[in-house]
Structure 1
Amino acid sequence: MPDDTMTRTSHLIHDLEQVNTQLLQSEKMAAIGQLAAGVAHEINNPIGYVFSNLKTLAGYVNDLLRIIDAAGEVASLQELQALITKLEYGYIREDVQALIGESEEGIERVKTIITALKDFSHIDEEAFRPADLHRGLDSTLNLVNNELKYKAEVVKAYGHLPEVECLPSQINQVALNLLTNAAHAIEERGCITVRTGQQADMVWFEVEDTGQGIKAEHLGRLFEPFFTTKPVGEGTGLGLALSFSIVRKHGGRIEATSEEGQGSRFRVWLPILQPQDDREAMPSC
């Protein structure tokens, strides 16, 4: 091949790789935008009732202060007892405990979401490192809870896994894509099962749904960029392409099985250890 032809071919391949990178990045940003909307909804719920509880608690504090102040001012015990009865001290005493407990649960929920978002959002990490795959799956499930809870019951069937050398945020991105696709595939309330396991020097996780399934003629095209079975305007066709690219970068593979009307299952295989060259580039803890 002449040198100028080889040069043009090299430039073309480089340009195609850049376009592919940009397309996958746009899909990642779209997923983050969708994720942000769900996270905002999930945080607004507990923050809303914590705020409401604080307003109620403020009223209770004012009533309790009235009782305390009155204790030093009233002329008789009967008058103090009458005020206690009027302000419903017994009810306040019980409800304060309930409000505090509910508010603590709300704040813990917010902390869980923020921690999950922090775990998920290390977008720019480049070095492979040992990671707890189950923690990543749990973090992603917490983040997409708003997407899933109205569509399906989520069942976790985790096996025993070693830590996996990977780019955790990118594996979380794969899990996010598979979980949201599973939710979108379910027309009425169904079930999404997340399983994990190990076979020899590989680990795997899978997402199975009881949704509408995939036509046989579409199975071979699932990982093609821009291919989507969703209605126009509802899917970019890049989510599974991005997932395929990430898993291949890790030296793994994705398997898809489905039967129309019977649901789908996507299994991701990952090597426990990366090649020695990548391991030597890992930062020490």
Structure 2
Amino acid sequence: MPHRNREGLMPSPAILDRLGDSLHEGVMLFSASGVLVYANPAATSLCQGCSQDPDSGLALEALLPRDAMPQARADGRWSGHLSFGKDSILLVHVYFCPDEDGWFLVLLQDLREVRAYEQDLLRRHAELNVRLTAAQAKLLQAEKLASIGQLAAGVAHEINNPIGYVHSNLGSLQEYLHSLFALIDAYERALRSPDPRAMLAEIDQTRSRLDIDFIARDLPQLMTESREGIERVTRIVKDLKDFSRSERDESWKLVDLHAGLESTLNIIWNELKYHATLEKDYGELPPVECLPSELNQVFMNMLINAGQAIGERGTIRLSTGHAGDEVWVEIADSGPGIPLDVVQRIFDPFFTTKPVGKGTGLGLSISYGIVAKHHGRIDVDSQPGRGAKFRIVLPVRQPRAA
């Protein structure tokens, strides 16, 4: 029999009937001898295809396989499947309660409904995954743009500096062209003059007055500087374009990580050069399968953090290496280091020790997610007073699904 509650009272049969009527699962109660005592409407509906009518006294032995009742008595429960007709398959759970004479509680579920529910769960899970992926992509893109926004002044300076001397060189080039055209005019007059010796003397005076010898020496250097300046601007703009690219526009490819590091340094160099000495120790790296712009985001976050940790003046050491099926990129700074209680939280979203306006608290969290997406890891080694070292370890090739 069902247990009584603390007050010694039991729900009335009417309440039990209403509860049973509201259930989608079939509920049946049998006596110890296997005689049906109670069946809710769902059980009656589910058992319509069996050989006996539940309302006319269905026996448990006729409903279950031969070994079901002995196993339920011995173990307290039995689970299995029943098939009625061509399409009706029921999931059955039998529970034995050895109270007084004993009772069998039978729960029935239509497997079609169970499978439909599972399919609905899978569909919802897939929808949530799509939404989560889209949200992660938007968050990554927002962090990229935020990083560029924080570096905007430095990037503008890096662009304005070469543009400034290219503009100055163009002014000098214009003056040089006037001088060269004047010299050409003098030669043309000499060719038409009846007194070539007098005109040759005038040409020499013109060459001296316009300082043509200096122009001849300075002009190639001026053009070289101007070309380098334009190439510098072109590289920065290209690196910015590659860096800000959305992951939807990018596919997995084999790339040179050193090229990615140099591209990232090209963008953020103005942020580092006034207070950090950069030391490079690049090893031999094979092409690595990755999403280049996402890894560049990681490199940028790590390098900017290292620069901000240094303070007024210090050193950033950038090194790379290759061991077995993995490559690593290590960024170490000579800053004050990270306290032990902070190290445990640095990858938490929105956690930051920087002043307001200096960071979003998402840089390391996003970096951790990107590296994990590449089936890699980030190792941290830091002690207070001895700087911090971040090692990004990545597989050379991404693992393939079986």
Q: TM-score, normalised by structure 1?
A: 0.85
Structure 1, 14-23 or 189-198: larger mean CA deviation: 14-23
Structure 1, 120-129 or 204-213: larger mean CA deviation: 120-129
Alignment-derived partner of residue 343 in structure 2: 219
Alignment-derived partner of residue 63 in structure 1: 179
- Tell me, in whole angstroms, the C-alpha distance in 1 between the residues paired with 2:361 and 2:338: 14
User: Do structure 1's residue 27 and structure 2's residue 143 form an aligned pair?
Assistant: yes
Report the CA distance shift for 1:21/1:59 in structure 2 as closer, same or farther (over 3 A): closer
- Tell me, in whole angstroms, the C-alpha distance in 2 between the residues paired with 1:63 and 1:210: 54
Q: Please, which of 69, 74, 91 is the counterpart of residue 214 of structure 2?
A: 91
- Tell me, in whole angstroms, the C-alpha distance in 1 between the residues paired with 2:145 and 2:229: 29
- Tell me, in whole angstroms, the C-alpha distance in 2 between the residues paired with 1:44 and 1:18: 36
The higher radius of gyration belongs to 2
RMSD over aligned CA atoms reads 2.9
Alignment-derived partner of residue 158 in structure 2: 42
Identity %, equivalent residues: 51
* Structure whose residues are more often helix by fraction: 1
Aligned 1:72-111 pairs, distance under 5 A: 72-73=188-189, 76=198, 77-111=200-234
Which amino acid letter does the alignment assign opposite residue 55 of structure 1?
G
Aligned 1:139-154 pairs, distance under 5 A: 139-154=263-278
Matched residue count: 275
Alignment-derived partner of residue 120 in structure 1: 243
Asked if 1 retains the 8 angstrom alpha-carbon contact of 2:347 and 2:365, the reply is yes
Which amino acid letter does the alignment assign opposite residue 26 of structure 1?
A
Report the CA distance shift for 1:28/1:101 in structure 2 as closer, same or farther (over 3 A): closer
Q: Structure 1: where are the runs of 5+ without partners?
A: 279-285
Which amino acid letter does the alignment assign opposite residue 68 of structure 1?
I
- Larger RCO (alpha carbons 8 Å, 6+ apart): 1
Asked if 1 retains the 8 angstrom alpha-carbon contact of 2:288 and 2:395, the reply is yes
- Tell me, in whole angstroms, the C-alpha distance in 2 between the residues paired with 1:202 and 1:22: 29
Q: Please, which of 251, 254, 263 is the counterpart of residue 387 of structure 2?
A: 263
- Tell me, in whole angstroms, the C-alpha distance in 2 between the residues paired with 1:274 and 1:267: 19
Asked if 1 retains the 8 angstrom alpha-carbon contact of 2:165 and 2:226, the reply is yes
Q: TM-score, normalised by structure 2?
A: 0.62
SS in 2 for 1:256: strand
SS in 2 for 1:276: coil
Which amino acid letter does the alignment assign opposite residue 185 of structure 2?
D
Cα distance, 1:126 vs. partner?
Answer: 4.8
Report the CA distance shift for 1:169/1:190 in structure 2 as closer, same or farther (over 3 A): same
Which amino acid letter does the alignment assign opposite residue 365 of structure 2?
A
Structure 1, 164-173 or 258-267: larger mean CA deviation: 258-267
Which amino acid letter does the alignment assign opposite residue 149 of structure 1?
K
Which amino acid letter does the alignment assign opposite residue 224 of structure 2?
G
Q: Please, which of 266, 281, 286 is the counterpart of residue 157 of structure 1?
A: 281
For residues 45-87 of structure 1, give each alpha carbon's deviation from its aligned partner in whole angstroms, at most 9, with x where no partner exists.
1111111101111111101211221233366132332222222
Report the CA distance shift for 1:19/1:106 in structure 2 as closer, same or farther (over 3 A): closer
Q: Structure 2: where are the runs of 5+ without partners?
A: 1-116
Cα distance, 1:36 vs. partner?
Answer: 4.5
Cα distance, 1:128 vs. partner?
Answer: 2.1
